[in-house]
Chains A and B, each alone.
Chain A
Amino acid sequence: MRGDDAMTSNRGTPLVEMRDISIAFGGIKAVDHVSVDLYPGEVVGLLGHNGAGKSTLIKCLSGAYHADSGEILINGQKVNISNPRDARALNIETIYQTLALADNLDAASNLFLGRELVTPLGFVDDSQMEAETRKIMGRLNPNFRKFKEPVSALSGGQRQSVAIARAVYFNAKILIMDEPTAALGPHETQMVSELIQELKRQGLGIFLIEHDIHNVMKLCDRAVVMKNGQRVGTVNVNEVTDDDILGMIIMGKKPPQAV
Chain B
Amino acid sequence: MIRAAVFTLFLGMNGLGFSAHGAADNIVEELANAQLPDPPLEPPPSTAIATARTARLQKALRCPVCQGLSVADSPSTAARAMGDRIAELVQSGYTEAQITEYFVDRYGAWVELEPPTEDHGALFYSPVIALALGIIFIVGTHRRRQKGEAEAEADEAQPNEPANDDLHPWRARILAELERR
Instruction: Say whether A and B bind each other.
Output: no
